Structure 1
Amino acid sequence: MKAQSLFIQVCALICLICSQSYAHEPAYINEVLNLARLQGSGKLTWWGLHVYDATFYRSANFNSPEFALDLHYQKSFSGNSIANRTIDEMRKLGVPDAQAQGWGKQLATFLPNVESGQNITAIYTPKQGTTFYFEGKPLAQIPGADFSKAFFGIWLDPKTSAPKLREQLLGQNCPPPLFQETCN
C-alpha cells in the first residue's frame, strides 16, 4: 500500500515537472515553434520601475533557429514610444541611423498602445522573419534576418543595454543561431 502511494506521488511529481516545460506557453507560440520550451525569463526595470516581464522561448529542439520573445508590460506605453525606444536601442547596437529610422517608421505603423497587463510577442522564423502579436493576435510581419537580428539583439546581443536581463533570458543556454555566437 505504501509502495503504491509512493509510486502515485512520484508519477504526479514527474507529470508536474514535465508539464512545467510546456504548459504555460501560449498556444500561438506553440503552434509556430512546434512545441515551445521556456529558455528563460526576467524583468526589465528602469530607475526602479518595473517596465515589463520578458519570457524567451525556443523550439523544443534548442538547435532549431526559431524562437519567441514575449513582453508582458507592467506600465502603459504608446505604440510610438515603443517604436522610438526600439530604434534607440538598435542604434546603441550599431545599426546605422538611416536603417533604424526606416524600421522605426515601419514599427510605428502597427505597434499598438499597451496598458499594464498586456503583452506583445515577437516570433522569429527564418523563412518569414519576425512576426508580431498583440494579446495573441497577429499584428504584422517584417521579413529578413537583418531586422530580426537588430530587433532581438536589443535583448540577446552581448552588447545589450540590459545584460542582466539577457543573462536571465538565455540562462545556461546559447543564443539562437541567428546571432552566430560561439557558446562554451
Structure 2
Amino acid sequence: MKAFRLLPFFIVLAFAITSQGFAREATHIEEALNSAKLQGNGKLTWWGFHVYDAAFYRSNHLNSPEFALELRYQKSFSGGSIANRSVEEMKKIGVSDTQAQAWGRQLAAILPNVEPGQSLAAIYIPKQGTTFYSEGKTLGQIAGSDFPRAFFGIWLDPKTSVPKLREQLLGQNCPPPLFQEVCNQ
C-alpha cells in the first residue's frame, strides 16, 4: 500500500530526471553558443505516436542571433526520410520547390539514420551557417542565411505546421532575429 502511494512521486521524479538529462547532455551546444540557455522544449506527436522531443537553445543574450535546436528521436528514421520530411515542411512555409529540393539533397548527404533515444542537433551561427550534430559529433554544415530561415522555420516560423510545439519552444520569448518577426519584449 505504501508503494502505491509513492508511485506519483516516482513518476514525477523519473520525468524530471529524463527532461533535465536531455538538456544537460548538450555540451556541443553549450560550447558553440557560449553559455547556452534552454529557452523551451516540447514533444512532437503524430497520430498519437511520440516522434521526438525538441529543445530550443539560445545564447546568453536573447537578442543574440545564435541558436540551436536539438531533437531526441523516439522512433527509428532513415536520414533520407528526415531530409524528405524537412523538404515538405519547408515548402509548407513558403520555400520554393526547387530550393527545398536542393537543400533536401544537402540534408540527405549529412543526416544519419536515427534510432530511438538518439539525438540530432542543428546550430546556427551567422557567417558560419548551420552545423549539424549527431550525439554531439559534427556531421556537416550548410552555409548561408536563407537555409536556416527555412530549416528552423519548420519549427519557429509563424506558418509552421506545429504551432503548439513552436509555442513550447519559444516560451514567453521572441524568436531569433533571423526570423525578423515583430516582437514586443
TM-score range, shorter chain: 0.7 to 0.9
Whole-angstrom distance in 2 between the partners of 1:126 and 1:37: 18
Whole-angstrom distance in 2 between the partners of 1:53 and 1:107: 20
- Aligned AA for 1:164? K
Q: What residue in structure 1 maps to residue 105 of structure 2?
A: 105
Q: What residue in structure 1 maps to residue 154 of structure 2?
A: 154
Q: What residue in structure 1 maps to residue 11 of structure 2?
A: none
Whole-angstrom distance in 2 between the partners of 1:76 and 1:103: 22
- Aligned AA for 2:58? R
- Aligned AA for 1:71? L
- Aligned AA for 2:143? P
Contact 1:25 1:36 in 2 (8 A): no
Q: CA deviation at 1:110?
A: 1.6
Q: What residue in structure 2 maps to residue 120 of structure 1?
A: 120
Q: What residue in structure 1 maps to residue 44 of structure 2?
A: 44
Whole-angstrom distance in 1 between the partners of 2:174 and 2:157: 11
Q: What residue in structure 1 maps to residue 61 of structure 2?
A: 61
Q: What residue in structure 2 maps to residue 9 of structure 1?
A: none
Normalised TM-score (structure 2): 0.86
- The sequence identity of aligned pairs, in percent, is 74
Correspondence 1:74-113 to 2 at 5 A: 74-113=74-113
Q: CA deviation at 1:96?
A: 0.4
Whole-angstrom distance in 1 between the partners of 2:108 and 2:30: 27
Whole-angstrom distance in 2 between the partners of 1:86 and 1:102: 12
Whole-angstrom distance in 2 between the partners of 1:159 and 1:126: 23
CA RMSD, aligned part only? Answer: 1.1
Tell me, what secondary structure is at the counterpart of 2:101? Answer: helix
Where do 5+ consecutive residues of structure 2 fail to align?
Answer: 1-19
Whole-angstrom distance in 1 between the partners of 2:27 and 2:120: 14
Q: CA deviation at 1:25?
A: 5.5
Aligned residues: 163
Contact 1:25 1:38 in 2 (8 A): no
Tell me, what secondary structure is at the counterpart of 2:55? Answer: strand
Tell me, what secondary structure is at the counterpart of 1:138? Answer: strand
Tell me, what secondary structure is at the counterpart of 2:45? Answer: strand
Whole-angstrom distance in 1 between the partners of 2:97 and 2:49: 29
CA distance 1:25–1:36, change in 2 (3 Å): farther
Contact 1:25 1:37 in 2 (8 A): no
- Aligned AA for 1:119? S
Whole-angstrom distance in 2 between the partners of 1:108 and 1:26: 23
Whole-angstrom distance in 1 between the partners of 2:105 and 2:64: 31
Q: What residue in structure 2 maps to residue 32 of structure 1?
A: 32
Q: What residue in structure 2 maps to residue 137 of structure 1?
A: 137
Q: What residue in structure 1 maps to residue 6 of structure 2?
A: none
Whole-angstrom distance in 1 between the partners of 2:88 and 2:105: 13
Tell me, what secondary structure is at the counterpart of 1:109? Answer: helix
CA offsets, 1:101-129, max 9 Å, x none? 10001111121000000000000000111
Normalised TM-score (structure 1): 0.87
